[in-house]
Amino acid sequence: MNLDYLRAIIFETKKELLNESGFSRVRQIMLGQVPSIDSIGILTAENPEGKRLSPEENSVLMRDMKAHLQDMSVGYTDIAGSFGGSEKSMLIMNISRDDLTQLGLGLGQEAVIWGQKERDKNNDPFYNFEYIEGTTAIQTRDVSMSDTSVQSREDFYSEKAGRKFWIPFFEDEYEGAKPSMGGRRISFEKSEIPPLEETKSLIQLINKRNSFLLENNRTNKSKWHHRNIMREEIKILNEITRKYKK
């Protein structure tokens, strides 16, 4: 057998083993199977305020974020993914919720993901993941996925060494929510809205998010973020309206 060919096979085999090892480690962490890790965060520094930047600008932001994480003495590993476009981010180990949210705010990020390890009735570990805008948890999920259906996803996933994983935020089937008969309400007549401070604030937020969806320079990830939070705010507004009419 040609020596160069043999070396190439060995190199590719080592590369595949390293990639699989990297993905397996990330999955062990996210499934709560690493005893020394009790909390995790997912954060990027790219495209602050939801505005598109050049790859060069994003590279500088990511480099600066890594330096800051090193100063904080927290462990992290690079991950990639696609959220309306390719994105580099970090899986950060043993970071507090407050530290993660403050870091996200300082980096101009619209949302971060934080998970706290918990245990079920059988004492098996799992993570309760929060999708956080600012410092407010918009949704929680107790599952992350990496099955065949996730590997076939073309967008809105994270990956390590070419293997994909996903936390199913804003997917109704994973919170037991079902659209009502006849479909979900997406708009209201002005006369229908209860004259409450809470509803006024919700309307302002919904209108603001809707204006973001029309901005040409806003990233697809940012539009996805605001579109889905609008759905949650509309659900709340719908519930308030329903109760007010009783």
Parse the chain into domains and list their residue ranges: 3-174, 190-245
pLDDT of the residue at 165: 94
pLDDT of the residue at 246: 60
One digit per residue, the tens of pLDDT, for the chain of length 246 reads: 555 655 554 444 444 433 445 888 899 999 999 999 999 999 999 999 999 999 999 999 999 999 999 999 899 999 999 999 999 999 999 999 999 999 999 999 999 999 999 998 889 899 999 999 999 999 999 989 998 989 999 999 999 989 999 999 998 777 643 333 333 333 444 555 667 777 888 888 888 998 999 898 999 999 999 999 998 988 888 888 777 666
pTM: 0.81
With b meaning 16 or more CB within 10 Å and e meaning fewer, what string describes 74-100?
bbbeebbbbbeeebbbbbbbebebebb
Ramachandran assignment for 105, one of left (phi > 0), alpha (psi -120 to 50 degrees), beta (any other): alpha
Q: Report the SS3 class of residue 192.
A: helix
Task: Give the whole-angstrom CA distance, residue 64 versus residue 43.
Answer: 13
